[in-house]
């Protein structure tokens, strides 16, 4: 082998060694769990990198995608909760009582009756609690065996209502009926005073 060939081999070997050293310096092979690592001082000086960087672009992409998906789910959940809350508020605000109560005062034979359950208004007609009315006019209240009818009896007169009829309201465990339908069929008289907002019952 001539000297010139030997010199060429030596130069080629040095070039290969330098290339391998540069590659090794640029990438140490030691990456963290995210697939990245910090540049060595030599790599920074050679301009190969500037600081922490990734060699596995997939990890960064997956992390970004995961964060975006999580953010989207969180936003969707908040919207759903807001919509449900808004809907619940509207439903609650629009809910009305089944019946309106009346402040009319009941007077029986000159005595004001203090009712525990206020009268109810249905189709512009006032319904009174049957049990309290029967007590106020000294009438006997009874129900049939099938519990489908109620009867009020006073002296030799009586009046019967079917619980399924439009003359009866069952509301909050209380049965209501029109005061006039009760009193007049038992021989009494009913007078309504609009100015005083009173219903007077005269029954002997």
Nearest C-alpha neighbor of 183 from the set 78, 106, 87, 85: 106
Q: Where are the domains of the chain?
A: 3-71, 101-202
Secondary structure tally for the chain: helices H, strands E: 5, 14
Locate 148 and state its tokens.
């489908």
Tens digits of pLDDT across the chain (204 residues) = 566 667 777 777 777 666 555 544 444 456 666 667 677 777 767 666 776 666 555 444 444 445 555 555 555 555 555 555 555 555 455 666 789 999 999 999 999 999 999 999 998 899 999 999 999 999 999 999 999 999 999 999 999 999 999 999 999 999 999 999 999 999 999 999 999 999 999 999
Strand (E) positions, the chain? 36-37, 53-54, 100-101, 105-108, 111-113, 120-122, 125-129, 140-143, 149-154, 157-162, 169-171, 174-178, 189-193, 198-202
């Amino acid at each position: 082998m001539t000297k010139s060939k030997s010199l060429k081999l030596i130069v080629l070997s040095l070039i290969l060694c330098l290339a391998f050293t540069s590659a090794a310096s640029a990438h140490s092979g030691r990456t963290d769990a995210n697939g990245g690592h910090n540049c060595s001082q030599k790599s920074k000086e050679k301009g190969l990198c500037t600081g922490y960087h990734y060699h596995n672009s997939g990890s960064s992409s997956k992390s970004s995608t995961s964060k975006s998906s999580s953010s989207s789910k969180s936003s969707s959940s908040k919207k759903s909760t807001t919509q449900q809350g808004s809907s619940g508020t509207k439903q609650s605000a629009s809910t009305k009582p089944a019946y309106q109560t009346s402040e009319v005062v009941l007077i029986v034979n000159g005595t004001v009756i203090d009712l525990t359950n206020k009268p109810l208004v249905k189709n512009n007609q006032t319904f009174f609690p049957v049990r309290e009315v029967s007590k106020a006019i000294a009438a006997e209240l009874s129900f049939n065996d099938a519990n489908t009818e109620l009867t009020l009896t006073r002296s030799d007169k009586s009046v019967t209502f079917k619980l399924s009829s439009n003359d009866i309201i069952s509301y909050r465990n209380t049965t209501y009926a029109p005061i006039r339908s009760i009193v007049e069929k038992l021989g009494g008289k009913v007078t309504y005073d609009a100015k005083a907002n009173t219903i007077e019952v005269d029954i002997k």
